[in-house]
């Protein structure tokens, strides 16, 4: 009989769970779900060696373990730090983490163009979502942004290097999934860029998957780009008998027309099964596929607009994190002694002043 693994306890944002030893803090937080799971721009479960590049997943470890309860001196990357027995972690409950994440987003946006209105990734872009949660309206950056020539990486993929955040996901995908990697990150520091060696095109059979793993709009599908906005399309799960891959995909319809084909993604936006180029780029007729039904989408996603079949409600963790139900409607007089109940702000002539509360 296989020996049962001893589980260890970890508390993240006041919620305690038991996980297997060797689990990263990020994956432990994903088991809890909802807002407790830190955002991740470079970590990708299916890609070996990914993570540790973008720093969006930083968390505070306020207690190292039962054996050594000292807090960790700095914020740590949750995708690269494993849990210890008795560890206590703060994500959304730590002002330090929120502050650091705001800073990381500011860094990621230093060179990133704000071209969401014309970017094909808009509506399903991790950086766009992150900017809504942690971005500022302005920038403190005073230098010229990096600009690059546009590259077509082979017949199917367009690279917009200005949008790349150098997360390495596409490099790992090409390395681990295709039979020959022909692109990588060239140069160092501010000059780093994704490029093919001497302009070689990427035509490996599974190379289309780099479009799906790219968290931003740096790699786009040339058979789909500029044809539609993602929130006008209806995603439908479908499969076909494919000799190269599992053939399980999402078809993106507008009316009767299939605009694009992508791999299916899980709740963390990660590909469930890699698909081949033929399924992705060459099978755009409904007759090529067996339709399974509408894709399940997160209710918070912009893609759910106007498409309410199969919409999933995300896990609600806030009451557990706070230890009480959030007070959505609050009577200000019951929580503040400054405001006198007999004074009605709407009845004051002009703006309220401290004299009104004497």
- Residue 274 in the binding site for ligand SF4 (CB under 6 A): no
Could you tell me which stretch among 52-60, 90-98, 125-133, 156-164 binds ligand FES (CB under 6 A)? 52-60
Residue 50 or 234: which CB sits closer to ligand SF4? 50
Among 27, 30, 37, 51, binds ligand FES (CB under 6 A): 51
Q: Which residue has 């330090």 as its token pair?
A: 96
- Mask 12-41, x = binds ligand FES (CB under 6 A)? ----------------------------xx
**Any alpha helices (H) in 178-219, and if so which ranges?**
209-213
Answer with the entry of ligand FES, ligand SF4, none that 57 interacts with (C-beta below 5 to 8 A by kind). Answer: ligand FES
- Residue 202 in the binding site for ligand SF4 (CB under 6 A): no
- Residue 54 in the binding site for ligand FES (CB under 6 A): yes
- Residue 168 in the binding site for ligand SF4 (CB under 6 A): yes
User: How far is 353 from 108, CA to CA, in rounded Å?
Assistant: 42
Number of chain positions touching ligand FES (CB under 6 A):
13
- Mask 67-106, x = binds ligand FES (CB under 6 A)? ----------x-x---------------------------
User: How far is 158 from 28, CA to CA, in rounded Å?
Assistant: 36
Could you tell me which stretch among 45-53, 124-132, 246-254, 349-357 binds ligand FES (CB under 6 A)? 45-53
H or E segment at 99? helix 95-108
DSSP three-state, residue 29: helix
User: How far is 291 from 181, CA to CA, in rounded Å?
Assistant: 33
User: How far is 358 from 353, CA to CA, in rounded Å?
Assistant: 10
Among 57, 75, 164, 216, binds ligand FES (CB under 6 A): 57
Residue 71 Cβ vs ligand SF4, minimum distance, rounded to whole Å: 32
Distances (CA, A) of 123 to 66, 130, 161, 211: 43, 12, 19, 15
- Residue 215 in the binding site for ligand FES (CB under 6 A): no
Among 19, 109, 164, 321, binds ligand SF4 (CB under 6 A): 164
- How many H helices and E strands in the chain? 8, 16
Residue 204 or 234: which CB sits closer to ligand SF4? 204
Q: Other CB atoms closer than 10 Å to residue 181's CB: what's the count?
A: 19
Which residues, including other chains, have CB under 8 Å from residue 55's CB and lie 6 or more apart?
A: 77, 100, 104
- Phi/psi at 291 (5° precision): -80, 135
- Mask 210-239, x = binds ligand SF4 (CB under 6 A)? ---xxxx-xx--------------------
- Residue 194 in the binding site for ligand SF4 (CB under 6 A): yes
Answer with the entry of ligand SF4, ligand FES, none that 55 interacts with (C-beta below 5 to 8 A by kind). Answer: ligand FES
Residue 78 or 111: which CB sits closer to ligand FES? 78
Which residues, including other chains, have CB under 8 Å from residue 207's CB and lie 6 or more apart?
A: 154, 156, 157, 174, 178, 277
As given in the structure block, the two tokens for residue 273 are: 């099964």
Which residues, including other chains, have CB under 8 Å from residue 344's CB and lie 6 or more apart?
A: none
Give the binding site for ligand FES (CB under 6 A): 40-43, 51-57, 77, 79
């Amino acid at each position: 009989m296989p020996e049962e693994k001893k589980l260890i306890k970890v508390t993240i944002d006041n919620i305690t769970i038991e996980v297997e030893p060797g689990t990263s803090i990020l994956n432990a937080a994903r088991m809890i779900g909802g807002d407790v799971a830190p955002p991740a721009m470079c970590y990708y479960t299916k890609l070996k060696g990914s993570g540790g590049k973008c720093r969006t997943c930083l968390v505070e470890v306020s207690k190292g373990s039962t054996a050594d309860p000292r807090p960790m001196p700095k914020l740590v990357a949750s995708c690269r730090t494993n849990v210890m027995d008795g560890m206590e972690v703060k994500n959304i409950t730590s002002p330090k983490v929120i502050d650091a994440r705001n800073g990381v987003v500011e860094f990621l946006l230093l060179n990133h163009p704000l071209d969401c209105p014309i970017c094909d990734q808009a509506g399903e872009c991790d950086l766009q979502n992150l900017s809504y949660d942690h971005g500022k309206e302005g920038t403190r950056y005073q230098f010229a942004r990096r600009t690059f020539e546009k590259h077509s990486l082979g017949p199917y993929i367009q690279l917009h290097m200005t949008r790349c955040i150098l997360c390495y996901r596409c490099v790992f995908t090409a390395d681990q999934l295709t039979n020959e990697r022909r692109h990588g990150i060239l140069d160092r520091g501010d000059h780093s860029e994704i490029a093919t060696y001497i302009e070689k095109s990427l035509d490996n059979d599974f190379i289309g998957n780099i479009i799906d793993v790219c968290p931003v709009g740096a790699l786009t599908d040339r058979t789909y780009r500029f044809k539609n906005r993602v929130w006008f399309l209806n995603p439908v799960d479908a499969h076909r008998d494919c000799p190269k891959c599992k053939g399980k995909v999402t078809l993106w319809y507008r009316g009767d027309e299939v605009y694009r084909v992508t791999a299916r993604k899980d709740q963390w936006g990660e590909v469930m099964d890699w698909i081949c180029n033929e399924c992705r780029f060459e099978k755009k007729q409904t007759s090529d596929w067996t339709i399974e039904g509408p894709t399940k989408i997160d209710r918070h996603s912009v893609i759910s607009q106007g498409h309410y079949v199969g919409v999933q409600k995300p896990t609600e963790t806030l009451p557990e994190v706070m230890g009480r139900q959030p007070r959505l409607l609050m009577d200000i007089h019951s929580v503040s002694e400054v405001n006198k109940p007999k004074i009605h702000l709407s009845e004051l002539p002009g703006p309220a002043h401290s004299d009104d509360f004497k």
